[in-house]
Amino acid sequence: MSETTENKEQLTEDVTEQVTQNTEENPDTTLNESGEEVELTIEEQLKQQISELETKLAEEENRFLRLRADFDNLRRRTQLDREAQEKYRAQSLLTDLLPVVDNFERALQVEVTSEDAIALNKGIEMVYKSLVDALNKEGLELIPAEGVQFDPTVHQAVMQEADSEKESGIVLRELQKGYKLKDRVIRPSMVSVNE
């Protein structure tokens, strides 16, 4: 036999002897079905350790999968929040400008007779149109009201009136204009509804 083969055999014998000694000095025991302590062989000890490691591995894999799912959900939620924030970024400004638009509309309803007042009215109308155009570019839309069926998601009924010529639930008058920003209502229309 060659020297390396003899060394391998010697090493194998030494390891086997050491494991046997450790087992005899500190034998691993377990309880059998009847509750008695039973010594485990090396093979059984290894199987038990493998079983414990497989259990730990399965637990860690489950933990990893749960963490990955949580991370994916967080990433999706963050993306949706970012998209919504971009889509409705102008909502606060538009909401603040709606009373200004209302005041311009009231000013334009005043009848004027003198030449100075007509010129002033024309200037107000030009400013109003450019303001409305700028708001429309940001996604502001007027909610249709008069003559349409009452919709509680976009209309706010503040009074009821009776008109026998029209169906029940039809909006008869718009008391204050309502607006949407893209698909979100930022101010519902205040309306009078047919009984």
Q: Which residues of the chain have pLDDT under 70?
A: 1-40
Residue 26 confidence (pLDDT): 47
Domain at 88-194, CATH from 3.40.50.300, 2.30.22.10, 3.40.190.10, 1.10.3720.10: 2.30.22.10
Residue pointed to by tokens 């079905």: 33
Report H helices in the chain.
3-25, 42-87, 91-109, 115-137
pTM tops 0.95, yes or no: no
Q: What's the pLDDT tens digit per position in 180-194?
A: 998 899 999 999 998
Distances (CA, A) of 25 to 21, 22, 45, 53: 6, 5, 15, 25
